[in-house]
Amino acid sequence: MLLVESMQSISVDNLIKKVLTYQPGADVDMIRLAFEFARDAHEGQVRKSGEPYINHPLATAELLADMKVPTSIIVAALLHDVPEDTIVTVEDIRKNFGDDIASIVAGITKLGKIKYRGIDRYVENLRKMFIAMASDLRVILIKFADRIHNLSTLNALPPHKRLRVALESMQIYAPIANRLGVNEMRAQLEDLAFAHVMPKEYEWVTGLMEQAIRVKKTYVDRVRNIIEQEIKANDIEVLDIHGRVKHKYSLYKKLLKYERDMVQIHDLVALRIIVPKISDCYAVLGIIHQKWKPLKGRIKDYIAQPKPNGYQSLHTTVFCEEGEIVEFQIRTEQMHDEAELGIAAHWQYDEDGKTASPKVRKQMAWVKDLAERQKFLKSGPEFMESLESIKIDVFQNRIFVFTPEGDVIDLPEDATPVDFAYAIHSQIGNTCVGARINDHIVSLDTKLCSGDCCEIIVDKNRTGPNPDWLSFVKTSTAKYHIKSRAKSRLTRWIRNINLESGKDN
């Protein structure tokens, strides 16, 4: 007992130590209080594996501390299972930790109560996830961490339950994490679930990977040392330099594209260099090219021209030592955090008064849009329909289309100029009469492709959208506006009939 007690306090100390590395002024007492509160509430409870229950919220909080989230999320993560699994209520949490923490914990508790099976369960899960996400993003981040820890301790469950949890993680959690740009969590969710959903494939990929890394490790270490010395010799500070190994599930997907041939995969290991300033990024690129010859067409400046999803970095692939091909990725710390943490990086950079990148701004806009539309989500068939369309927005592959001004609009595959118009502004959608794609006049139901430049022709006198557009639009925004316009026209018409028939009586 004493041993367990001391192990726990070591863990909460570790958690606090971690939080202090990125937030030196963090409210340490509050974290310790939350830990003790949760430990007492879960007193006597054990997990399926036999370990004390408190280890689970503690591990969940630690995963979040790795993502450098604010203290409120750490505190709520420690308390996340208290109202559901113990006699202590959300009210008790409110009294001890205030409204903000209580509302996050209440959000997680609501998400936890899902009793549906099969497709109903899937839909119900999605609905709850979207509602939670729209009302408070912090809830969904804790849910991701909670799920990652549960997946990593899945072996304690019977096989049929394991598979259900793993499938749900792959089909619901990972795509949402992906859409929010929380890549680090997306990759963990996928890799942990992969092992249970496709055990044989997982073992195959793991074997290939371990072998490749064994062969490459010494080589990559050597190259890392060479370039680190060189950069320092040029008086540039290196914040971090590490070999990035591809995640298992993404390697698996890539292998399927290349007839399962590992020889064709060149980016299993890449060297990532993190430096303080943007000017340092370009200086490091120059240093690398002075030393090794770059491959033609493989120098990518995603800093000056970010990827359509907002990703920023410099990439180059060179003929390195002994003629081996090596990829380098060079970026600042903020670019790195935003690439790995996505929307979770938002607090870190906004609270500091720095501005978030276009990437994070875009993700925030999506959640805000989702929150906006939640207000209109009602129960019944109408709800199912709107849910269906939101689901499609998340899970479809995305394409990126440019406005004549060079802005990028992010749309689902097979989207049309009408979707594009509504994505810019509802008024443009409502008054759109034609479109030009890459300077050619096209019909409004033409399918857009990634990289197209699209211009919308509007007629200010147009009274509203054509209900026939519903047969080809792909985004929920377009569907929503077309339907609500049609509906308001219908209500007006019915009201007019009523007025007229009233006159008659």
Tell me the catalytic residues. Answer: 84-85
Closer CB to Mn ion, 47 or 291, in the complex: 47
C-beta of 38: minimal distance to Mn ion in Å?
11
Tell me whether strands 325-332 and 269-275 are parallel, antiparallel or unpaired: parallel
Q: Does 146 bind Mn ion (CB under 5 A)?
A: yes
Nearest Cα residue to 56 out of 29, 84, 30: 84
In whole angstroms, what is the distance from residue 441 CA to residue 231 CA?
52
CA 47/CA 35 separation, integer angstroms: 17
Q: Which CB atom, from 59 or from 270, has the smaller least distance to Mn ion?
A: 59
Q: Looking at beta carbons only, is 77 or 269 nearer to Mn ion?
A: 77
Residue among 31 and 208 whose Cβ is closer to Mn ion:
31
Q: How far is the CB of 17 from Mn ion (least distance, A)?
A: 23
User: Which stretch, 146-154, 183-191, 377-385, 421-429, contacts Mn ion (CB under 5 A)?
Assistant: 146-154
Query: 205 near 244, Cβ under 8 Å?
Result: no
Q: Amino acid identity of 482?
A: I
Nearest distance from C-beta of residue 138 to Mn ion, angstroms: 15
- The window from 39-47, 141-149, 318-326, 345-353 that contacts Mn ion (CB under 5 A) reads 141-149
Instruction: Please give the Cα distance from 101 to 416 (Å, whole number).
Output: 43
DSSP-derived 3-state class of residue 487 = helix
- Identify whether the C-beta of residue 444 lies closer than 8 Å to the C-beta of residue 473: no
Q: Which is nearer to Mn ion, 42 or 127 (CB)?
A: 42
Long-range contacts formed by 173-176: CB under 8 A, 24+ apart: 173/143, 173/144, 173/147, 175/394, 175/395, 176/129, 176/133, 176/140, 176/394
Residue nearer to Mn ion on the CB measure, 27 or 85: 85
Q: Tell me the closest approach of the beta carbon of residue 145 to Mn ion, in angstroms.
A: 9
Q: How many residues bind Mn ion (CB under 5 A)?
A: 2
Secondary structure, 3-state, 172-208: HHHHHHHHCCCHHHHHHHHHHHHHHHCHHHHHHHHHH
Q: What are phi and psi of 326, to 5 degrees?
A: -130, 135
Does residue 62 touch Mn ion according to CB under 5 A?
no
Q: Which residue is nearest to Mn ion (CB)?
A: 146
Does residue 338 interact with Mn ion by CB under 5 A?
A: no
Residue with smaller CB distance to Mn ion, 165 or 176: 165
Write down the least CB distance from residue 107 to Mn ion, Å: 13
Structural tokens at position 388: 């269906």
CB atoms inside a 10 Å sphere around CB 311: 17
Rounded to an integer, what is the distance from CA 464 to the centroid of its chain?
A: 35
Q: Exposed (0-12), middle (13-18) or buried (19+): which is 302, by Cβ within 10 Å?
A: middle
Nearest approach, Cβ of 146 to Mn ion (angstroms)? Answer: 4
Say which amino acid occupies 341.
L
- Helix, strand, coil share (%) of the chain residues, nearest 5: 65, 10, 25
Query: Which of 315, 238, 308, 317 minimizes the C-alpha distance to 280?
Result: 238
Of residues 73-132, those binding Mn ion (CB under 5 A): 81
CB of 26 to Mn ion, least distance (A): 23
- The structure tokens listed for 152 are 């990593």
**Interaction site with Mn ion (CB under 5 A):** 81, 146
